[in-house]
Homo-oligomer: A and B are copies of this chain.
C-alpha cells in the first residue's frame, strides 16, 4: 500500500483533532482509499504539555524547518493559525513541492491568491476545507458536485461562538455579558473574544466563500462588518415577537454586475431553515441557478469536526498521489470575474428608538422616515416598558432601504428633543 507522509505545524485543538480522527478511522480510510497515511512529524514547542493524544515522542519537532525541509514529507498541514508566520511556512512548503492543507481562514482570505499561485507553479495542491464552517464540507461541495451551478446568493452562520451566545440569550433570556462569561468558562469563547464577537472571523470566511463562488477578491477588512456586542435582551424579545431569531449572518449577493456583502446581526424568520441553527452549529445556505436553494449544516468548530475536514483534504491529496495523476491544477479560489463590489446592499431593518410617550411623537417619527423614503412595514410600542422619565421604546421594521439613507433619517430623528436615542438597527432577512 502506498504510504503518504504528513507533517503537522501546530499542536492545538485542530491538530489533536486531526490526529485523533486518523487514529479512530485508520482502517476505513486505508480500505476506502488504498493509501496508508502516516503523520510522521508534528511541530510542538512544548512537548512536555499533555495533549490528550498518544504520540511517539520522536514525532515531535521543535522547529518548523524540520518539517518544511524533510524530503520524505508529502503533505504539510498548517494548523498554527494567524496570518504570519503561517503564510510564510505554507509558501515555503509549496515552493519545496509539498502539498499544503490548512484550516487558516485569515491566511487564506488575505494571502490565498499568492499561495494558490505558488501551488500551481509547483504542481501541488492547496486545500483549506476546514477554514470555513468547521466540519461542513462546503468548499468541496461548491467546487466539485455543485460546480455546474452559477451561484448568486450566500447566507451563512459561520461562527459558533457568537451563535452559541445568541442562542443562549434567546433561550434563557440572559444578558450578553452573562452569556459571554459562561461561554468563556465552557471553552466556547476565547479569553479575548473580540475576533469572534466583532465579526472579523466571519468576514474572513465570507471573503473566502465569495472568491470560491463569485470569483471576486474582496478582502475581509473591506467587508462592512458589525458584531453582536450591541445586541441586548430587549432586541431578542422584540425579534421573537416578530417571529424571528437574531443571528450573526454573513451575506453576499450577486445583482447584475455587482456584488453586495456584509457581516451583521439579522432577524431571521422562524420558517427560514437557518433559523433553527443553534448553539455551536454553523450552516451555509447558497442559491444556485440549477440546484436552487441548498444548505449545509454541522459543527463549525471543535477538534474532531474540524479534524474531519482536515483529514478530508489530506485524503483527497493522498488519493491523487496514489493514482500518480497530474494534480488538480484548477485553483479553487478565483479572482477572474469583473463583478463590481458595491458594499452593503439594501435591506429591511429593525429599528429600536427611545422616545417620549406623548401625542404626536409617532406621527412625527413616521413623517421623518417618509421624508427619506423609508417606508414602515410594522411598528410596535409597548407602554408597559415606559420608564420613570416617560420614555418608551418604539420599534419599527422598515421596508428595504440603503443603510446610509436609513442612517440619515435616524440622524435627523435624534436631533429632535422627543427622540432620546437610537438603540438598535438590525437587518431583517426576508
A interface residue numbers (CB < 8 A to B):
17, 20-22, 24-25, 28-29, 31-34, 129, 135-137, 140-141, 143-150, 271, 273, 275-278, 281, 288-299, 302, 304-305, 307-309, 311-312, 314-316, 319-320, 323-326, 328, 330, 336
Contacts and interface: CB of A to CB of B under 8 A. Distances in A.
Given A29-B147, A140-B144, A325-B323, A273 B297 contact: yes
Given A141-B137, A326-B324, A148 B292 contact: no
A353 to B, nearest CB: 32
Contacts of A281: 293
Nearest to A326: B323
A150 to B, nearest CB: 5
A46 B135 CA distance: 47
Contacts of A290: 17, 20-21, 24-25, 135, 304-305, 307-308, 311
Nearest to A270: B276
B297 A135 contact: no
12 contacts: A25-B149, A29-B147, A33-B147, A140-B140, A145-B309, A271-B278, A276-B276, A290-B311, A293-B297, A295-B296, A319-B328, A324-B326
Contacts of A278: 271
Nearest to A313: B145
A394 to B, nearest CB: 32
A148 B276 contact: no
A223 to B, nearest CB: 24
A336 B305 CA distance: 26
A297 B297 CA distance: 8
The 7 closest A-B pairs by CB, nearest first: A325-B325, A137-B145, A148-B311, A294-B298, A290-B308, A135-B291, A145-B312
Nearest to A330: B32
